[in-house]
Amino acid sequence: MMNDTTPAAAMPRFERDAAFLDTYANQLRMSVTTADFALIFGVNDDLAPGNVVVRDKVAVHLPPGVAKALLVQLQMAVEAYEEAIAPIPVPAAMASQIEMAKQQILAALTQQMRPQRTEPTPKLRSG
C-alpha cells in the first residue's frame, strides 16, 4: 500500500525515434548471454521445395528484466487472444526447433558461467 509520502511513479512519455523500424517477421531465433537476450526476427523465403532461406531482418537485445516483462506481456496477450478468438497452434516447423533452441541456450549459458581457467603466471627468478 502506498502512503502519502511515497511519490507515485511517473508514466513515461513515448516518442517515436527517427530510426524507428516497423517490419514483418514470420521467423524467430534467440540467443542468450548472461548479459542479455537477443531476439532475431526474419522472413522465410521459400526459394524452392526443400530450399528455404530465412532472411534476418532485425535483432532486438533485451536485458533480463525487460525480457521477463516481455514474457509476461506476451503470455497475457496470447491468453486473451486465445480466449477471445481461438487457440493458436505452434507451426509444426517451429515446434521441432523450440526444443533444440532450448538445449543450445542452456549449453551456451552453462559455458558462459563456467569459471575461466587461467594459467599460473610464471615466477620470475631473481639474481
Residue 27 burial (CB count, 10 A): 19
Query: pLDDT for 109-127, tens place per residue?
Result: 888 888 766 666 666 666 5
Query: pLDDT for 37-79, tens place per residue?
Result: 999 999 988 767 777 889 999 999 999 999 999 999 999 999 9
Q: What are the residue boundaries of the structural domains of the chain, listed by start? A: 27-108
HSE-up of 3 (CA within 13 Å, CB side)?
1
- From the list 62, 56, 61, 57, the residue with the least C-alpha distance to 23 is 57
- At 14, which amino acid appears? F
Q: Report pLDDT for 57.
A: 95
